[in-house]
Amino acid sequence: MSRVKRGVITKKRHKRLLKQTKGFWGQRGNVFKRAKETLMRAMAFAYKGRKLKKRDFRALFIVRISAACKSHGVSYSKFIHNLKSANILLNRKMLSQMAILEPQAFAQLVTLVAKK
């Protein structure tokens, strides 16, 4: 029976993982077991962070729209309700951009929906 040398695939897998953990502190960057634990944790946080980012930005857009509405004497909730009843389909990101970059257009939008 001929001899089978092993470890090529394992070595490749270990190297790939250790390459991802480059720059981590202490054993977390160069010992496979510690590196794998840390990388799995880091990836879980990264996934969670991508979801939280959407939540944070939506909250930011709402705050910006609310501030712009208050300067025109309308509450945020009434403004959004009137937009929906007027069948104007603009998302909060675009409304926020309008409030900052195009204040005249936003003012026209507020007066348009305030009549409804």
Q: Is the pLDDT of residue 116 over 70?
A: no
Least confident segment among 44-48, 50-54, 69-73: 69-73
> d(Cα 69, Cα 47) in Å, to the nearest integer?
34
Q: Is the pLDDT of residue 52 over 70?
A: yes
pLDDT of residue 7: 84
Least confident segment among 3-12, 51-60, 93-102: 3-12
- Are 65 and 93 contacting, i.e. CB atoms less than 8 angstroms apart? no
> d(Cα 31, Cα 110) in Å, to the nearest integer?
60
The number of helix segments (H) and strand segments (E) in the chain equals 5, 0
The sign of the CA dihedral 25, 30, 34, 35 is: positive
pLDDT tens column, 86-104:
898 989 999 999 999 999 9
pLDDT of residue 67: 94
CA 66 vs CA 21, 54, 59, 77: distances in Å: 43, 18, 10, 8
Nearest to 69 by CA among 96, 94, 36: 96
Domains contained in the chain, CATH given: 8-114 (1.10.1900.20)
> d(Cα 58, Cα 52) in Å, to the nearest integer?
10
Average the pLDDT over 64-76 and give the result.
93
**Global pTM value:** 0.75
Q: Please give the mean pLDDT across all residues of the chain.
A: 92
